[in-house]
A = this chain, B = another copy of it.
């Protein structure tokens, strides 16, 4: 038997340990803009719900309480005009990474199946496909798919790493393509709350999906929306038959969210105030960092949404990462996300105001 770990690329973050060590040596300390981990406090509303459910001796269910799933439905309708979704179409997941990593396997895909991922993409789309032994095609153009019949097509808007937002016409065209081919379209919408220069659309919006969720899944995470990366709180929703099958499989496989974490998720989904406040905080950091990068000679592309600036100095990305590390700033090499990112770096603006100010000062010095 081959080792499963060999199916995957090197765990990418391990490959920047060297430049990270260099950044740490900066007399003003490292400004870590690489992973994009949230640093602002977990909102009170989520913490209180977690604390209120601290006495949880018994087994949770994989499906979770209907109140939790209803909170997801209500949020999607309130914020993104998604109508007609039922709580039975919502399945909580232990963060969105485990869902994406396991989706091809849990749907029974294998070596005969093709998974289409964006040309520049969150690495876990490919990890999940490789885990199941699927073929992977990285393209943003359905023309490149040609006459083939993919089993799964991933979309991600606003996109990691480059922040592009896809408009409703584009989304609608991919929905139609997927339905014609009988492919499952999975839309990773974990940055939907964070748009800066355009309006983001869910694939489940009636103007995109035509009022039917057939063949569609949307993946949502509270990690960024509610500073809950430490809680592992996400959900998948859409096509009832696919959700039913995932629930059946995941009950056997034991994907239960901790009860206190379920409570926090329901409470956080019911509140928009903390999201609005967090969005303003990120907008200010984004504006400052963007101006500083541009003044230092970087070109920022896309970045209409999500929590990253997609920046280039027209040189190999590892050189740019090293240049930044000499200034104590750690960014992610664009090549983590696909060969099209070979000359870009991804700069997260999730660090504290103090750390962002330090980066700005170093870039503009």
- Chain B residue numbers with a CB within 8 Å of A59 are 35, 37, 223, 229-230
Contact with B along A119-159 (1 / 0, CB 8 A): 00000100100010000000000000000000100000000
- Chain B residue numbers with a CB within 8 Å of A245 are 3-5
Contact with B along A47-88 (1 / 0, CB 8 A): 100110111111110000000000000000000000000000
Closest chain B CB from A77 CB (angstroms)? 27
Copies of this protein chain in the complex: 2
A261 at the interface (CB under 8 A from B): yes
CA distance A196 to B57 in the complex (A): 22
- Chain B residue numbers with a CB within 8 Å of A37 are 57-59
A21 at the interface (CB under 8 A from B): no
Known contacts A11-B251, A95-B254; is-contact A106 B50 (Cβ 8 Å): no
- Say whether B109 contacts A248, CB under 8 Å: no
Known contacts A101-B254, A102-B253, A113-B1; is-contact A56 B42 (Cβ 8 Å): yes
CA distance A11 to B62 in the complex (A): 12
A284 at the interface (CB under 8 A from B): no
CA distance A106 to B228 in the complex (A): 27
Q: Which of these, B4, B11, B105, B260, contacts A107 with CB under 8 Å?
A: B4
Interface size counted on chain A using CB atoms at 8 A = 65
- Chain B residue numbers with a CB within 8 Å of A106 are 4
- Chain B residue numbers with a CB within 8 Å of A5 are 245, 248-249, 252
Closest chain B CB from A248 CB (angstroms)? 4
- Say whether B260 contacts A11, CB under 8 Å: no
Chain A stretch 1-45: residues in CB contact (< 8 A) with chain B:
1-5, 8, 11, 35, 37-42
A231 at the interface (CB under 8 A from B): yes
- Say whether A58 contacts B105, CB under 8 Å: no
- Chain B residue numbers with a CB within 8 Å of A229 are 56-60
Q: Which of these, B58, B108, B127, contacts A253 with CB under 8 Å?
A: B127
Closest chain B CB from A190 CB (angstroms)? 13
- Say whether A55 contacts B41, CB under 8 Å: yes
- Chain B residue numbers with a CB within 8 Å of A232 are 60, 256-258
- Chain B residue numbers with a CB within 8 Å of A113 are 1
Closest to A98 in B: B254
- Say whether A57 contacts B35, CB under 8 Å: no
Closest chain B CB from A217 CB (angstroms)? 16
Chain A stretch 225-275: residues in CB contact (< 8 A) with chain B:
227-232, 245, 248-249, 251-261
A302 at the interface (CB under 8 A from B): no
CA distance A259 to B227 in the complex (A): 13
Closest chain B CB from A351 CB (angstroms)? 11
A313 at the interface (CB under 8 A from B): no
Closest chain B CB from A96 CB (angstroms)? 8
- Chain B residue numbers with a CB within 8 Å of A261 are 258, 260-261
A172 at the interface (CB under 8 A from B): no
Q: Which of these, B47, B108, B251, contacts A55 with CB under 8 Å?
A: B47
Closest to A112 in B: B1
CA distance A45 to B258 in the complex (A): 17
Other than A5-B245, A57-B227, A101-B254, give 4 A-B pairs with Cβ distance below 8 A: A50-B51, A94-B255, A94-B256, A231-B258
Q: List 12 A-B contacts (CB under 8 A).
A: A2-B108, A4-B105, A38-B57, A39-B57, A50-B54, A51-B54, A56-B230, A56-B231, A57-B230, A232-B256, A232-B257, A261-B261
